[in-house]
Amino acid sequence: MPQITVDHPVSLTGAFDRTGFALALHAVVVDLANARIEACKTRFRPTEDNVVGGDGEGHDIVHVGLALLPGRSEETKARLTEAVLELVRAHVRPAPGRGLHVSAEVRELDASYRKSEE
């Protein structure tokens, strides 16, 4: 915990400072959600196909999902999602003439969540 997943188009791979984003986000999660830095885990999932609107052309989509153990207030979750939006925009250089759609969601992990470390 927290489990962070970032979906982004393959075309942004070179234009997205993923390591810088993850490290900055981990610091924010520690600050806002009282998480431990060593517990923050981020994985990136490049997507092949992205379609936006009626024509589907000229847009890139980045979605960040944060899954946390229960107990954070709605205000904390909202502050986290706003911080994510800012961090993505600071770490992505969209290609000229392309739209960038950024979204984020914070959800609580189910009571069945378990982890194992070796």
Residues 2-54: pLDDT tens digits?
A: 999 999 999 898 999 999 999 999 999 999 999 999 999 999 999 998 888 87
> Residue 55: is its pLDDT beyond 80?
no
**What pLDDT does 33 receive?**
95
Write down the pTM of the prediction. 0.91
Q: What is the DSSP string of 87-116?
A: HHHHHB-PPTT-EEEEEEEEEEPPTT----
Could you give the CA distance from residue 81 to residue 83 in angstroms, rounded to a whole number? Answer: 5
Could you give the CA distance from residue 91 to residue 85 in angstroms, rounded to a whole number? Answer: 10
Could you give the CA distance from residue 90 to residue 22 in angstroms, rounded to a whole number? Answer: 12
Cβ(33)–Cβ(72) below 8 Å: yes
Among 59, 73, 64, residue whose Cα is nearest residue 11:
59
**What pLDDT does 53 receive?**
83
Residue 97 or 91, more confident: 91
Kindly list the structural domains of the chain, giving each domain's residue range(s) and its CATH number in brackets, ordered by start. 3-108 (3.30.429.10)
How high does pLDDT run on average in the chain?
93
